[in-house]
Structure 1
Amino acid sequence: MTKPPRKPSKPLLGEADALLRSRPRRRRDPDQPNLPLDPMPARIEPCLALLRAKPPKGDDWVYEIKWDGYRLSVHIEPTGIRILTRGGHDWTHRFPAIKLAAMWLPVGSAILDGEAVVLDEQGRSDFGLMQQSLGGRGGKKSSSDAIFMAFDLLYFDGHDLRKSELDMRRHLLGDLVPAGEQGDIRLSEQIEADGDELLASACELDLEGIIAKQRRAPYRSGRLGEWLKIKCVQSDGFAIIGYEKSTASFGGIGRLLLAARKGEQLVYVGGVGTGFNERSAAELRSQMDKLIIGNPAVDTGRKRNAIFVRPELVAEIQYGGWTHDRKLRHPSYKGLREMQDNARIYEIA
């Protein structure tokens, strides 16, 4: 065991054997301002990505993989952890593993922006698996399978970072959530590559697409163009307005009848009869049976064996494009969107 240093037998002396003393501390000038800390926002509206057909060009853009899950913000506060959905709903209790991981991050206060996802066996995010882990739309289960892919840092130890450039925010985020770690909070890594080549690689791996971000842009809430999304396949939300019955299909659902928004109205855009499994069809049928109405909310044309419902459910549909008469081409059902996730119905221009 190391011994404590002995006290000097004599005081330290300077020139002319004068005692060495520190300078007396000045009193603080009351006119000198304190350096204030930024108040921690209770909630920040997320920055949203604009859809584009092709990746942008230029060195000002960096790329990430597009994750297919639930957009969340993780608030690390002196009083505890809060996990908020895109719509501002508190879902802390539904992501206990992410909450626990946030408690171990080496920071006193922070707001992380990212996406909760469930990965399949190939490591790809799967929206259907994400929903199943939460017990389906309207379910009350907590997800033990979801992980949080962090892609931005908005607040850090008393400092609001939204006016800082993306490169600075990402630098601090990388110190907080190091690349390559495999915990329940992981870094969504940036990729500096040619956008067209990266998109092609993402599509070959059956990923949803890529996100392009301006490296020098501040963080601005809304869909303003600093972030762009480029998809391998089109996927959007459509209102369910009914279904056609079938005794040979899961849940007795032959086809879902779908609508998009045009101005203040809903318009019929066709139906979808693929993408269901026994579990998702049973969940759908249970939800729709609570919403049955006598007449369709929009004109669907003549339909046999159709049951109509109030347009309160939003289905995420993957599709290959549009027909000449504005119906969905090759649609496939992916799952139901949550209202807490700001379920958005596709708008026809």
Structure 2
Amino acid sequence: MTKPPRPKPLLQDADKPVRSRPRKPRDPAQPNLPLDPMPDRIDPCLALLKPTPPKGPQWAFEVKWDGYRLAVHIEPTGVRIITRGGHDWTQRFPLIEAAARALPVTTAILDGEAVVLDDRGRSDFGLLQQSLGGRGGKKRSSNAVFMAFDLLYFDGHDLTRSELDVRRHLLEGLLVPAGGQGDIRLSEEVEADGETLLRIACEHGLEGIIAKDRHSTYRGGRLGDWLKIKCIQSDSFFIVGYEISMAARGHIGSLLLAARKGNDLAYVGSVGTGFKESVAWQLRSMMDKIKRKTPPLSYAGRRKDVAWLQPTLIAEIEYRAWTDDGKLRHSSFKGLRDVQDNAAVYEIE
């Protein structure tokens, strides 16, 4: 006759404490779990612009932050804060550096955005630039916070081959216990469908939303794993000249803008609003150093008193739409992009 199975102690007597088996000493011959070398830099995953949000349970949604893309490297020897272009900006963000040092982790790489929030909690690129002293400035920001949205390396392990859901789970475990209002904060995933979130984001004056494929690994470049859907269009353009006006701030009537078109530049219109008095004079001083006698692109306009420039300054421009002849509509100047930020100038197909 077959004996019935012996009940386990947990089921036999609920009053007795549950004990695990005695731990055996580790066999010295057993190999340790191999650790991945920490990379000096990881090429960032970039969001592909789309007109409408994607649908389906595979997509996770976040608010789109308007700031500088950074990677925070935490190592036993210290913290490095690296820009999208690979430049070391650790000294520019002392509060973020201090917050990274305080995190309970030995090695990590956090992907996110440095932002300055306005009085309504919205990220403001202009305020961020002011805190850093403008383009080419050397100020140390005293009010920028880091909105972390990905974890690429953690305690000796490369996470770029792991799915987004796994990376986010570990990121939340690292940041959430530390509180939510420090100088490093979690960029929250919003439980809503894309269309609803986009509508709410636009109603609150935000730039837009980001959609991310939950099952995607972390791949550098603009490959479609991440998508951006904007309320208001905002892109980077070359400043190729300015219209002189003695009545305007900095004597700048308007800035003449260009996009890339293959190996050439294409004129896309002008912008005459968005810069304050101090910014206008600072901009004028920078432009006076890069003047040239002839336009750097084909220009058929009839503007008078135009000063042409070497196409080295990159402006972030907010606009509503494009005209039928390829010009920006209702454009507004937001600020200059730093070379170290590696901003991509708008490309015309």
Deviation at 1:74, TM superposition (A): 0.3
Shifted more, 45-54 versus 339-348: the winner is 339-348
Deviation at 1:27, TM superposition (A): 6.1
**Identical-pair percentage:** 67
Larger radius of gyration: 1
Structure 1 counterpart SS, 2:167: helix
When residues 26 and 96 of structure 1 are mapped into structure 2, their CA distance, relative to the original with a 3 A threshold, is closer
1:316/1:334 contact within 8 Å kept? yes
Distance 1:314 1:40 in 2: 33
Deviation at 1:345, TM superposition (A): 1.0
1:174-253 superposed matches below 5 A: 174-178=172-176, 181-253=180-252
Distance 2:191 2:118 in 1: 25
Partner residue, 1:344: 344
- Could you list the runs of 5+ residues in structure 1 that have no partner in the other structure? 1-21
| Letter aligned with residue 322 of structure 1 | W
| Letter aligned with residue 309 of structure 2 | V
| Letter aligned with residue 328 of structure 1 | L
1:256/1:272 contact within 8 Å kept? yes
Structure 1 counterpart SS, 2:282: helix
Deviation at 1:25, TM superposition (A): 6.2
Structure 1 counterpart SS, 2:254: strand
Partner residue, 2:6: none
Distance 1:176 1:27 in 2: 31
When residues 197 and 25 of structure 1 are mapped into structure 2, their CA distance, relative to the original with a 3 A threshold, is closer
Residues 206-256 of structure 1, C-alpha deviations (whole Å, 9 max, x = no match): 000000001111111111111000000111001000000112211110010
Partner residue, 1:15: none
Structure 2 counterpart SS, 1:150: strand
Distance 2:94 2:186 in 1: 19
Structure 1 counterpart SS, 2:172: helix
Deviation at 1:99, TM superposition (A): 0.3
| Letter aligned with residue 199 of structure 1 | L
1:116/1:147 contact within 8 Å kept? yes
Partner residue, 2:329: 329
When residues 26 and 80 of structure 1 are mapped into structure 2, their CA distance, relative to the original with a 3 A threshold, is closer
1:286 and 2:285 correspond: yes
| Letter aligned with residue 307 of structure 2 | I
| Letter aligned with residue 173 of structure 2 | D
What is the number of residues matched between the two proteins?
A: 326
| Letter aligned with residue 181 of structure 1 | G
When residues 191 and 27 of structure 1 are mapped into structure 2, their CA distance, relative to the original with a 3 A threshold, is closer
Partner residue, 2:108: 110
| Letter aligned with residue 297 of structure 1 | P
Residues 302-325 of structure 1, C-alpha deviations (whole Å, 9 max, x = no match): 320110110000111111111111
Shifted more, 214-223 versus 200-209: the winner is 214-223
TM-score, with length taken from structure 2:
0.91
Shifted more, 295-304 versus 135-144: the winner is 295-304
Distance 2:24 2:315 in 1: 71
1:314/1:344 contact within 8 Å kept? no
Partner residue, 2:52: 54
1:118/1:130 contact within 8 Å kept? yes
TM-score, with length taken from structure 1:
0.91
1:130 and 2:128 correspond: yes
Structure 2 counterpart SS, 1:153: strand
1:153-164 superposed matches below 5 A: 153-164=151-162
1:168 and 2:166 correspond: yes
Shifted more, 248-257 versus 296-305: the winner is 296-305
Structure 1 counterpart SS, 2:136: coil
1:66-85 superposed matches below 5 A: 66-85=64-83
What is the RMSD computed on CA atoms of the aligned residues? Answer: 1.6
When residues 55 and 28 of structure 1 are mapped into structure 2, their CA distance, relative to the original with a 3 A threshold, is same
Partner residue, 1:307: 307
When residues 197 and 24 of structure 1 are mapped into structure 2, their CA distance, relative to the original with a 3 A threshold, is closer
1:264-275 superposed matches below 5 A: 264-275=263-274
When residues 154 and 325 of structure 1 are mapped into structure 2, their CA distance, relative to the original with a 3 A threshold, is same
Distance 2:24 2:198 in 1: 64
Structure 2 counterpart SS, 1:63: strand
| Letter aligned with residue 275 of structure 1 | G
